[in-house]
Structure 1
Amino acid sequence: MKLFLKYHIFNIVTVIAVTMFFSCDNRLKEVQQIGISDNEPIGVAENIILKHIDSGKVESILTSPKMIDYSNRDFAFNEFPDGMHLELFDSKNQKTTIRSDYAIIYDKTGLTDLQGNVVLSTETKDTLFAEQLFFDKIKQWVFTNKPVKFRTGTDLINGNGFDSDKEFSQAEVLEINGIITLNE
């Protein structure tokens, strides 16, 4: 009788243990998300300086008074509501500087959307003024389809749209509205 009772208790304990083992699954993501709304940022950083370095060479430096991190969303992004300053360095270590009042960087696409008083200036003093400009990190390309003013040499070119590589060797104002030659 004692053997029969021990056998049943052993079976019951085994069934409970196996049930508990298989009923638990990996819900670490769910636990990490407890208390975080899908619409709320996962973090906020102030007075940031981000440097992108590849093979020991600085490729870009981003500074901003505030960055809001939405990497907890399916389509992750970082928002810079107080603007940003971006320095891009080409293969000859020449610097292109971009400033804007507002920016969003989308992680999955590598696209940066710069908005409000966007000013892009190169080492050779070429300067682009726009209300919106996109920077494709993957293709190393800047572009917009909004109105622009582009100062190159003594010419100020007005147009609707702009395309260029980050080194400005292929800079092109689209739909040119006028060219003004400035006196130096």
Structure 2
Amino acid sequence: MGEAITERDSLPGMQTLGVIGLVSDSGITRYRIETEEWLIYDKKKPSYWAFEKGVYLEKFDSLFNIDAIVKADTAYYYDKQRLWKLVSNVHIQNLKEEEYDTDLLYWDETTRRVYSDKFIRIKQADRIITGYGFESDQQMIKPVINNMEGIFYINESAPTDSIN
């Protein structure tokens, strides 16, 4: 038999299995969340929520329209800092149906910024952009990509005369 756990901060204060729910902030529904297991470590320093068996999240705007879809193999939410850490196979689709793929992503609800220092792949309607590290607004509309590369599609039948 193993050693008994005597420190309360080593145990989750809540464990919920098979979660499909809505999360509100200030009385407004902000997210729809699905996860196999949701653990809340309320006595850890800092306290956090753990989604170590995957998470699917829909973020809503004030009119209950889906702003973004987020999937990740693992996620942590640091409730006091209002900071999400998404780890492994992170996939995000924004309002413009652009797709972002990376292995590590932070989403700071306080500053309304999303960022990573890892490889990022962004698929847009007319191009695919890759880079190492990026920062964006939380709607993922205005990304700034570091060390950028890309595949850009060119319309070869477009006129080349720059005068007309």
TM-score when scaled to structure 2? 0.80
Task: After TM superposition, give the deviation of residue 106 of structure 1 in Å.
Answer: 0.7
Q: What is aligned with 2:23?
A: 52
Query: In the TM superposition, what are the counterparts of 1:1-184 in structure 2 within 5 Å?
Result: 37-54=8-25, 57-91=28-62, 93-176=65-148, 178-181=149-152
Unaligned 5+ segments in structure 1 are 1-34
What is the CA RMSD across the aligned residues, in angstroms?
A: 2.1
Aligned partners of 1:90 and 1:167 also within 8 Å:
no
Structure having the higher strand fraction is 2
Task: After TM superposition, give the deviation of residue 95 of structure 1 in Å.
Answer: 2.5
- Structure 1 window deviating more from structure 2 (156-165 vs 84-93): it is 84-93
Task: After TM superposition, give the deviation of residue 61 of structure 1 in Å.
Answer: 1.6
Aligned partners of 2:114 and 2:140 also within 8 Å:
no
Q: Distance in 2 between matches of 1:101 and 1:54?
A: 24
> Helix, strand or coil for the counterpart of 1:38?
helix
Q: Distance in 2 between matches of 1:91 and 1:171?
A: 22
Give the 3 Å change call, closer, same or farther, for CA 72–56 of structure 1 in structure 2: closer
Higher RCO by CA contacts (8 Å cutoff, separation 6 or greater): 2
Task: After TM superposition, give the deviation of residue 161 of structure 1 in Å.
Answer: 0.9
Q: Distance in 2 between matches of 1:154 and 1:102?
A: 30
User: CA offsets per residue over residues 47-95 of structure 1, 9 Å max, x none?
Assistant: 1234233566432222211011110223211111101011112356342
Q: Distance in 1 between matches of 2:8 and 2:29?
A: 36
Unaligned 5+ segments in structure 2 are 1-5, 155-164
Q: Distance in 1 between matches of 2:27 and 2:79?
A: 23
Q: Distance in 1 between matches of 2:141 and 2:153?
A: 22
Structure having the higher helix fraction is 1
Q: Distance in 2 between matches of 1:126 and 1:64?
A: 23
Amino acid in structure 2 at the alignment position of 1:90: D
Q: What is aligned with 1:28?
A: none
Which of the pair has more CA radius of gyration?
1
Q: Distance in 2 between matches of 1:86 and 1:58?
A: 13
Pairs aligned (count): 148
TM-score when scaled to structure 1? 0.72
